Amino acid sequence: MQMVCLTDFEEYAKEHLSKATWDYYAAGADECCTRDDNLLAYKRIRLRPRILRDVSVSDTRTTVQGTEISFPVGIAPTAFHCLAWHEGEVATARATETLNTCYITSTYSTCSVEEIVAAAPNGYRWFQLYVYRNRKLSEQMVHRVEALGYKALVLTVDVPYTGKRRNDIRNQFKLPPHLKVKNFDGVFQETAGPEEYGIPANTLDPSISWKDVYWLQSITRLPIIIKGILTKEDAELAVEHGVQGIIVSNHGGRQLDGGPASIDALPEIVDTVQGRIEVYVDGGIRTGSDVLKALALGAKCVFIGRPAVWGLAYKGEEGVREVLQILNDEFRLSMALSGCRNVAEINRNLIQFSKL
């Protein structure tokens, strides 16, 4: 079967993954309103294409944090890639290395950060970090990834507690016995009691606050990017606290249900930041024209979560490569059909603000 668009990969994954695994990846919080709105919001945005602009040559390259990538789509941090494909994150890392884009490795990986680096030594990688009640645990992870050559820390800030994902509760979702959160191998052996997504419940620190950004800056020289900002107020605070980037994100609709679609939150954040730091977005990107819309609204780069997992489920490394390649090809085509020859020519004039 020829894979033509990202929906083809989604359908394949739904058919071939176990119900509990599919439900885990697909889950949104509560009624899944925000998860679904992430996709619907892109469909509400209309483009204003310019014509007769000589688009015979096009260039999709851009930079993130000063590093050139081949096109403005990276891989968002998603957990447990081995559930979708036996090689897991190692396959994801190789695919992103081949396509020369950014891979944000999840703390909750089923391969260790060392295995990921060994598999794709030349890949451009950031590391997604949670702050734990035991700060030493977070600190050790920071030093590990810094020594391994990860280029930035992505601090996820929208999980003081885990959102209520109904199907995970119904399925009593647990990692199968042959898989574990590899980065914490041996760390929690003593711990009895309930488990949540592969590590003991209540490991995450709900007291996390802006002062922890300063704490993080005191233990690392890596750029810090905050993931999970949805308001201009928090965007301003992020800039004031000296972080290097923001990922506008609602965690794929898996945390607070009833918040904005991430693409709807993007413009006010871009307007507030005014180019002082880079702004990225994730959630709901399924086509090249979605990528174009996000860039037109001021995102420097977008990140995809679930589609990468569908690619893995389809054919491992090759599947992730195909997903990225399709998005790259679609983005290049949408750019050309809108009259843009390179990413510098993409701006808000491309967006028709529909009167809703």
Residues in binding site for glyoxylate: 24, 165, 251, 254
Closest C-alpha to 176, from 311, 80, 107, 90? 80
**DSSP character at residue 155:** E
Bind-site residues for FMN: 77-79, 106, 128, 130, 156, 227, 249, 282-286, 305-306
Question: Of the residues 81, 86, 143, 251, which is catalytic?
Answer: 251
251 annotated active-site: yes
Helix (H, G, I), strand (E, B) or coil at 104: strand
Task: Measure the CA–CA gap between 275 and 137, rounded to whole angstroms.
Answer: 34
Instruction: Answer for the pair 259, 33: CB distance below 8 angstroms, yes or no.
Output: no
Question: What are 242's two structure tokens?
Answer: 């000296």
Instruction: Answer for the pair 102, 128: CB distance below 8 angstroms, yes or no.
Output: no
State the DSSP string of 39-51.
Answer: HHHHHH-EE----
Closest C-alpha to 159, from 224, 79, 256? 256
Closest C-alpha to 168, from 284, 9, 32? 32
Q: CB-based burial of residue 96 (10 Å sphere; 0-12 exposed, 13-18 middle, 19+ buried)?
A: buried
Residue 6 neighbours by CB under 8 Å, 6+ apart: 286, 287, 307, 310, 323, 326, 327
Which residues are known to be catalytic? 251
